[in-house]
Amino acid sequence: MALYAQSSGTHSTGSGSWSAIPGLAFTLPEGVGVSAIVILNVPNPYAQGNNYPGGNFGIEVNGTVQSVTAVFTYNEAQPSSTGRIPTTLVVGVPLATSKQAVRAVWSGIRGSKVIIDTPATLTAFLT
């Protein structure tokens, strides 16, 4: 079984705290002795800022951000251009005796504005 969600349009965050990426959420079914491999793929994000801009990406399960996260930053304090930094995150989530809400989250680093303007995806494969 596979679950899939895809974003559309342009989205951005300037928040220093985790916030939901629009369109990237689904519910895992209940199950015992089964895990889900959850993959967040953000193929073309970029960040704007003047203090080594970058972004954080995470996967939240029932309101708790998982301990494994993905991060990108630029090598210059004030980049002359905002190159794209493909970012992918893979997290294993054990299924529980009840359904679990899963959503992709993100935040800016050091006051950065993080932008996605191409589709990003959230996928789960049950193993």
The answer for residues whose C-beta is within 8 angstroms of residue 29's C-beta and 6 or more apart is 1, 95, 99, 126
Give the tens place of pLDDT for each residue, 14-24: 999 999 999 99
Determine which of 22-26, 41-45, 82-86, 120-124 has the lowest per-residue pLDDT on average. Answer: 82-86
Q: How many domains does the chain have?
A: 1
What residue numbers bound the domain in which 112 lies?
2-126
**Residue with structure tokens 């895990």?**
35
Is it the case that residue 1 has pLDDT exceeding 90?
no
Q: Please tell me the distance from the alpha carbon of residue 38 to that of residue 82, in angstroms, as a whole number.
A: 28
pTM: 0.94
The domain that contains 119 carries what CATH number? Answer: 2.60.120.760
pLDDT band at 80 (very low <50, low <70, confident <90, very high): confident
